Copies of this chain bind each other. A is one copy, B any other.
Amino acid sequence: MVNQVQKADGSWQSCKSDSSGASNSGESSKESSRCSTPVLDADRSDRLRHKMRRRIESGDRWFSLEFFPPRTASGAVNLISRQVDPDRTVAIKPLKVSLSESTWSLSSRFDRMGSGGPLFIDITWHPAGDPGSDKETSSMMIASTAVNYCGLESVLHLTCCNQTKDKITGHLGKAKHLGLKNIMALRGDPVGADWEEEEGGFNYAIDLVKHIRSEFDDYFDISASLVGYPTGHPEAESYEDDLRHLKEKVDAGADFVITQLFFRADTFLKFVDDCRAIGITCPILPGIFPIQGYQSLRQLVKLSKLEVPEEITQVIEPIKDNDAAIRNYGIQQAVEMCRVLLDSGKVPGLHFYTLNREVATMEVLRQLGMWIEDPRRPLPWAVSAHPKRKVEDVRPIFWASRPKSYIYRTQDWDEFPNGRWGNSSSPAFGELNDYYLFYLKSKMSKDALLQMWGEELVNEESVYEVFTCYITAQPNRRGHKVMCLPWNDDPLAPETNLLKDELEKVNRRGVLTINSQPNINGKPSTDPIVGWGPPGGYVFQKAYLEFFTSSENVNALLKVLKKYEPRVNYHIVNVQGRNLTNAPDMQPNAVTWGIFPGREIVQPTVADPVSFMYWKDEAFALWIEQWAKLYEDESPSRMIIKYMHDNYFLVNLVDNDFPLENCLWQVIDDMFELLDAPPERLDDGAASEYNVFKQPL
């Protein structure tokens, strides 16, 4: 296709765009400014209405997914994530508007559903469930998790019936602060049968649409729904009235329409024609409900006052006790209806009422060829969909295993690094606090953690063994696998597995690794293990190794490192802040980067010596908060962890010579060799230069 590029003199010239059909429209280019344009994903910087417009222009159909928040904390745990131990679900009193633990456990569901490529998801508003609160089950927090940690474009439902203006404004302000950009404006069900219009209050969704536009200008994209029933709203005086109300909502500022569910394609297509006839021009998305069971269908029909067409009841009634048969029918019925809708040319995207279930919706989308799992990552780390973070494409490597912590500690930043990390002499990471350290910890129960990390530690070697078992994925001497460490929530990444043998060897000897990556010299960006970014590119890495180790080891290491100048950059620090680095001018060192067709260089990960000082406070605190506190005060186990916290150093090493074989293992080997040598070798020469380490610690 041929796009337009505007020249300085105001004239337009045509230019052929890439196959994705993305165009640099005049409008979006106004938003962009030098050095702040996302490189890898034009979608990331656009608002939802523009994404829709681009897809419509290119003929690229999309789908979207609706979820409801779990009603109770334990319900959330049972329903949303199989990995959460209910014992760990505790009341949480956040220090500020923030994200609680159980909402994070949603990530896995969202990640799975997000991997198929929905244009957006939406989260329903449950007035009875304290939907705007900081509770882990609130609509607000679930939507925030989707945006901030799962990187999903999200629409938050909001109902206005029986709400004060102040309360609504408060919800909207909070949503904006959390990075939510889209609101589905709803009236909501009046409470009780004696509901009456309130003078000057919010009686209809249009009041909410107007309020959003008057209080928040153009910030939010707004969806109108529900009253936009394809068959006419049950309470509407007439289908024509219903259409007129919808037109008014769109005229008041709604950007797109999602319909309630329906069972016949014709119903929806007539509705679209009728909308167009009265001048509704915005996108209208059909709400698709794959029938998933007899009871759920009956309940839904009862609630929505919809009639199920006879051709469907005739099929369902005979098989109503056969759940599998009904599900299969539901999938087949939805696929057929969607095909008719898509073939009509009037449907730019499909909206699915998932009921928080994955299987049916995914199967419908697969059969339609619209569920396209793309295992490639746009960046080596999961991007956030918070609008403040839309240009973010650089992070320090230190938080690689704790991305939620990184997002949490940087949530108050006004701008995020793009293209280059820069010399951040004052990066202003959020302060550590107990809330943060405690609630960001493992989802395991205390008993499970003790089984993994040792009911009773006898010496430092007991700790080495825990690290070694984590690396090797072998059970410890009591037969329990070590699935996580205070610094690593998850088992080893496939990439780290590339280093497994070397990691095992050094952990056994007290080089307690918490972060590492191999060097990579130009692998294809589609590589299944280390690839990221668009196809046709090449990714690179410098070898990185980060570990805790004793001061004796550090003394030997410093001597060894002299041989590796300037090939190896190091940064060595203890909990008191004793600190040695050879970083030139305290500048960041890019350790991951990628080269792509037609793009600027992307360098998503750096080892930044200034940020490292903030990370080390967190890394050391995790020893105490997550490990030592598992044991009784004054117990030997607790004293051992406390001793290591007080006396060990945190070390990071970068091998700058990425085209050569990684030399960091040789560095560690040389250190061990020096340690194994007669003692006089360790005390001569270089060691004395580093007398900062010879003072009592």
Please determine whether A599 and B579 come into contact, CB atoms closer than 8 angstroms: no
Convert A486-504 into 0s and 1s, putting 1 for each residue whose CB lies closer than 8 angstroms to a CB of B: 0000000000000000000
Given A34-B422, A35-B35, A536-B566, answer yes or no on A583-B606 (Cβ-Cβ < 8 Å).
Answer: no
- Which residues in B have their C-beta under 8 angstroms from that of A298? none
Number of interface residues of A (CB under 8 A): 85
Given A579-B13, A609-B5, answer yes or no on A417-B18 (Cβ-Cβ < 8 Å).
Answer: no
Identity of the chain B residue whose Cβ is nearest the Cβ of A690 in the assembled complex:
B16
Please determine whether A600 and B579 come into contact, CB atoms closer than 8 angstroms: no
A36 to chain B, nearest CB (A): 6
Please determine whether A598 and B656 come into contact, CB atoms closer than 8 angstroms: yes
Convert A24-47 into 0s and 1s, putting 1 for each residue whose CB lies closer than 8 angstroms to a CB of B: 100001101111110100100000
Partner of A421, one of B580, B595, B600, B606: B600
Near B by CB (< 8 A), chain A positions 566-602 give 566-567, 569, 571, 577-590, 593, 595-601
Identity of the chain B residue whose Cβ is nearest the Cβ of A566 in the assembled complex:
B597
- Which residues in B have their C-beta under 8 angstroms from that of A3? 586
Q: How far is the CA of A3 from the CA of B425 in the complex (A)?
A: 14
- Which residues in B have their C-beta under 8 angstroms from that of A425? 5-6, 24, 29-30, 32
Given A588-B600, A595-B540, A609-B15, answer yes or no on A35-B566 (Cβ-Cβ < 8 Å).
Answer: no
Partner of A24, one of B16, B42, B586, B589: B586
Partner of A5, one of B20, B34, B415, B579: B579
Please determine whether B586 and A590 come into contact, CB atoms closer than 8 angstroms: no
Partner of A600, one of B8, B590, B659: B590
Please determine whether A586 and B5 come into contact, CB atoms closer than 8 angstroms: yes
Judged by a CB distance under 8 angstroms, whether A658 is at the interface is yes
Identity of the chain B residue whose Cβ is nearest the Cβ of A524 in the assembled complex:
B659
Please determine whether B598 and A423 come into contact, CB atoms closer than 8 angstroms: no
Q: How far is the CA of A202 from the CA of B424 in the complex (A)?
A: 44
Judged by a CB distance under 8 angstroms, whether A674 is at the interface is no
Q: How far is the CA of A587 from the CA of B34 in the complex (A)?
A: 12
Q: How far is the CA of A656 from the CA of B569 in the complex (A)?
A: 31
- Which residues in B have their C-beta under 8 angstroms from that of A426? 8, 29
Residue of A590, A595, A596, A613 contacting most chain B CB atoms (<10 Å): A595
Please determine whether A598 and B587 come into contact, CB atoms closer than 8 angstroms: yes
Please determine whether B584 and A422 come into contact, CB atoms closer than 8 angstroms: no
Please determine whether B417 and A34 come into contact, CB atoms closer than 8 angstroms: yes
Identity of the chain B residue whose Cβ is nearest the Cβ of A416 in the assembled complex:
B34
A613 to chain B, nearest CB (A): 6
Near B by CB (< 8 A), chain A positions 474-524 give 521-522
Identity of the chain B residue whose Cβ is nearest the Cβ of A589 in the assembled complex:
B598
Please determine whether B595 and A590 come into contact, CB atoms closer than 8 angstroms: yes
Q: How far is the CA of A627 from the CA of B221 in the complex (A)?
A: 56
Given A598-B583, A598-B656, answer yes or no on A8-B614 (Cβ-Cβ < 8 Å).
Answer: yes
Judged by a CB distance under 8 angstroms, whether A110 is at the interface is no
Judged by a CB distance under 8 angstroms, whether A553 is at the interface is no
Please determine whether B580 and A37 come into contact, CB atoms closer than 8 angstroms: no
Judged by a CB distance under 8 angstroms, whether A603 is at the interface is yes
Q: How far is the CA of A586 from the CA of B24 in the complex (A)?
A: 7
Q: How far is the CA of A6 from the CA of B20 in the complex (A)?
A: 47
Please determine whether B11 and A577 come into contact, CB atoms closer than 8 angstroms: yes
Judged by a CB distance under 8 angstroms, whether A93 is at the interface is no
Please determine whether A33 and B422 come into contact, CB atoms closer than 8 angstroms: yes
- Which residues in B have their C-beta under 8 angstroms from that of A589? 597-600
Judged by a CB distance under 8 angstroms, whether A639 is at the interface is no
Judged by a CB distance under 8 angstroms, whether A638 is at the interface is no
Judged by a CB distance under 8 angstroms, whether A7 is at the interface is yes
Identity of the chain B residue whose Cβ is nearest the Cβ of A592 in the assembled complex:
B601
Q: How far is the CA of A606 from the CA of B595 in the complex (A)?
A: 12
Judged by a CB distance under 8 angstroms, whether A329 is at the interface is no
- Which residues in B have their C-beta under 8 angstroms from that of A521? 522
Judged by a CB distance under 8 angstroms, whether A645 is at the interface is no
- Which residues in B have their C-beta under 8 angstroms from that of A6? 425
Please determine whether A659 and B538 come into contact, CB atoms closer than 8 angstroms: yes
Please determine whether B583 and A18 come into contact, CB atoms closer than 8 angstroms: yes
Judged by a CB distance under 8 angstroms, whether A368 is at the interface is no
Partner of A417, one of B22, B23, B35: B35
Please determine whether A422 and B36 come into contact, CB atoms closer than 8 angstroms: yes
Q: How far is the CA of A613 from the CA of B15 in the complex (A)?
A: 11
Given A34-B422, A35-B417, A584-B22, answer yes or no on A601-B597 (Cβ-Cβ < 8 Å).
Answer: no
Given A8-B614, A29-B423, answer yes or no on A567-B35 (Cβ-Cβ < 8 Å).
Answer: no
Judged by a CB distance under 8 angstroms, whether A610 is at the interface is yes
Near B by CB (< 8 A), chain A positions 552-576 give 565-567, 569, 571
Partner of A14, one of B20, B42, B538, B579: B579
Q: Enumerate 16 A-B pairs (CB-CB under 8 Å) in ascending A order.
A: A5-B610, A5-B613, A8-B426, A13-B578, A13-B579, A15-B580, A22-B584, A33-B422, A35-B419, A420-B420, A421-B600, A522-B659, A536-B567, A587-B600, A590-B599, A600-B603
List A residues at the B interface (Cβ < 8 Å).
3, 5-8, 11, 13-20, 22-24, 29-30, 32-37, 39, 42, 415, 417-429, 521-522, 536, 538, 540, 565-567, 569, 571, 577-590, 593, 595-601, 603, 606, 609-610, 613-614, 654, 656-659, 692
